[in-house]
Amino acid sequence: MQEILVVDDDGTYRTIVMRVLTRAGFSVSGVRTGEEALAVLDQSTPSIVVTDILMPDMDGLELIRAIRRTGRGIGIIAISGGSDPMFDFLPAASIFGADLALRKPFELASMVVAVNQLLLARQAGPVQSRNQAAGSN
């Protein structure tokens, strides 16, 4: 069973995403902060980390960078809310190494599709972030 770690300081949102992914057949755990996520990653290697971008202390961009530094090939899906362009961090998430990005609010089925898409890509070969794939010929 594929393991997924959900990182979001919004407990309600985290719980909803965890339930949807659990119902889709994944083994899912969740934490509130980037620091808690890194502690989990010290003990295990989930297939995918789903992380919010705007969180207190360590934000999602820092977490993405820290995960990529490990070189463990963990898939990363970044999520962020808001429509204000000043606070649109999803392009930065791709630059930092997120494989996929979803804007809150999103259809819950979209999360399951994104996870399955990323798992299929991982089975096919090394996962490249969108910006890496765009730069290759």
Under the banding of pLDDT at 50, 70 and 90, the label for residue 83 is low
Residue 49 phi, psi dihedral angles, 5° rounding:
-115, 125
Instruction: Determine the pLDDT at residue 124.
Output: 79
Q: What is the pLDDT of residue 126?
A: 57
Task: State the pLDDT confidence band at 2, using cuts at 50, 70 and 90.
Answer: very high
* Structural domains of the chain, ranges and CATH numbers in brackets: 3-27+37-135 (3.40.50.2300)
pTM here is: 0.86
pLDDT computed for residue 120 by the predictor: 93
Helical segments of the chain, H only: 11-23, 34-43, 60-70, 90-96, 108-124, 130-135
Percentages of the chain per state (helix, strand, coil), in multiples of 5: 50, 20, 30
* Higher pLDDT, residue 88 or 60: 60
**Does the N-terminal peptide bond of residue 85 adopt cis geometry, omega within 30 degrees of 0?**
no
pLDDT of 137 reads 38
> pLDDT per residue over 90-135, tens digit each?
778 888 999 999 988 889 999 999 999 999 988 877 545 444 443 4
Task: Give me Rg for the CA atoms of the chain.
Answer: 14
Residue at 134: amino acid letter: A
What tokens were used for 120?
Answer: 């299929």
Phi, psi of 8 (to 5 degrees): -160, 130
Reported as type and span, the H/E element at residue 40 is helix 34-43
pLDDT for 91: 79
